[in-house]
Structure 1
């Protein structure tokens, strides 16, 4: 049974408590999320009512059958409330743990494990973060952080796949990503590398020109030295760009 309430403001509270699971979320922070700068006089009482509603949902979901009460899961602490992560599992925490493992595996030059960890992490996402939750300023900032971490995990997974020689397999995915983010240099560099390794250097050069045009049109700047070095390496047919059996050439060029 779902513990997610249907009403918007209780959903906001649950989302913020879940994102910060294990930490005390101050009452003032919850009020600011719910009402912004227009906090009503009844805010404290209304917030307590929302907390009671969430605990009732927890009870209905059967938390007491596991030898704990709703108050054990959603604790009242000095100055605020805390969602106890040790009482249940959270997709967000699993995602973050897998991302850390993937990052560590890349640092240890184990792209196979990295790709597995990061692929599982990304598989936990089912759409945009908190798409069905009304977000105030605080949740909005948290969503930005979550999306940035997701984007970082994706970049690392693509890097791991390049190190594994899966360049042909990820070209389609990279083309789609670059079309959505035409000034994203890392994705463009990964696409250029994948195309070059797949025996399509002219398309890799086209990808560079598309990035350059987008950067000049939107920002009035040239590609970074990192991308220009990659461009020159492709023009020179540099064998260092070939699929490696150790750290990727793309990684070396970006150092």
Structure 2
């Protein structure tokens, strides 16, 4: 893996993270990485980088930025940026960009979980989540042209975190997960699945009163922010906790 954009856009060379000197080159690295192995027309690149207000030297500037990125990628032993018929493409192996590696690891985690292999699922999902060093393309403006890509990745990240917590709960790591989940529901207050994981973790750890209190907090948050009630899956879990039923519903549910 050489090109990293799940955080600051950088190139990994011999274990060292190097970022392009020019800010616009860092933006270009992020854009090319998000669309790796896809040819991007020069006009599209210019529009993305300058938001419809390119300087007269825009095409020449892009060529300068590409030359800088090629040097970094060459040092990292990667094929690099290839000129297409009317633009450029970042040519990268399947695991040459952290975005594609992240998505592959998440898919592996889902497959393992589907086969009941929770240890393998946790391993893959933990690796996937660990690739994130910060927001996508941190430190540089994200062009409107790739904002949909970033939105999808952000959703995939929090879903992967939820999946990872789910399989770790299934493996019995209840006490260890409570502090992390308490922070996650503050960071993502409208992610009901995280709240459900917290209720389940507290209940499994023998902290039933706290689990009920967390459910009640969730009810207030959902009502105040969205005007809705908890889902059937969350209510089913709550009823099991309230009855002190040890046979609680599946901890890793998706709803």
TM-score, normalised on structure 2? 0.85
The whole-number CA distance in structure 2 between the counterparts of 1:31 and 1:52 is 16
| 1:16-27 matches, cutoff 5 A | 16-27=31-42
Distance 1:212 1:87, change over 3 A: closer
Greater shift, 203-212 or 76-85, is seen at 76-85
Greater shift, 135-144 or 163-172, is seen at 135-144
Q: SS of 1:249's equivalent?
A: coil
Deviation for aligned residue 1:88: 7.8
The whole-number CA distance in structure 2 between the counterparts of 1:165 and 1:56 is 48
| 1:78-227 matches, cutoff 5 A | 78-86=85-93, 89-227=96-234
Distance 1:115 1:44, change over 3 A: same
Are the counterparts in 2 of residues 122 and 150 from structure 1 also a CA contact under 8 Å? yes
Distance 1:106 1:88, change over 3 A: closer
**What's the counterpart of residue 65 of structure 2?**
50
1:250 is the counterpart of 2:222: no
Distance 1:108 1:12, change over 3 A: same
**What's the counterpart of residue 9 of structure 2?**
none
Distance 1:134 1:251, change over 3 A: closer
Q: 1:29-59 deviations in whole A, cap 9, x for unaligned?
A: 3122111122344333332232233224445
Q: Which consecutive unaligned segments of at least 5 residues does structure 1 have?
A: 242-247
The whole-number CA distance in structure 2 between the counterparts of 1:100 and 1:251 is 16
Are the counterparts in 2 of residues 75 and 83 from structure 1 also a CA contact under 8 Å? yes
Distance 1:99 1:207, change over 3 A: same
Are the counterparts in 2 of residues 9 and 34 from structure 1 also a CA contact under 8 Å? yes
Deviation for aligned residue 1:25: 2.0
Q: SS of 2:137's equivalent?
A: coil
Higher helix share: 1
| 1:63-78 matches, cutoff 5 A | 63=77, 72-78=79-85
Deviation for aligned residue 1:94: 2.2
Deviation for aligned residue 1:139: 3.5
Q: Which consecutive unaligned segments of at least 5 residues does structure 2 have?
A: 1-12
**What's the counterpart of residue 4 of structure 1?**
19
Runs (4 or more) in structure 1 with deviation over 6 Å come to: none
Q: SS of 2:161's equivalent?
A: helix
Q: SS of 2:194's equivalent?
A: helix
TM-score, normalised on structure 1? 0.85
The whole-number CA distance in structure 2 between the counterparts of 1:52 and 1:103 is 39
Count of matched residue pairs: 240
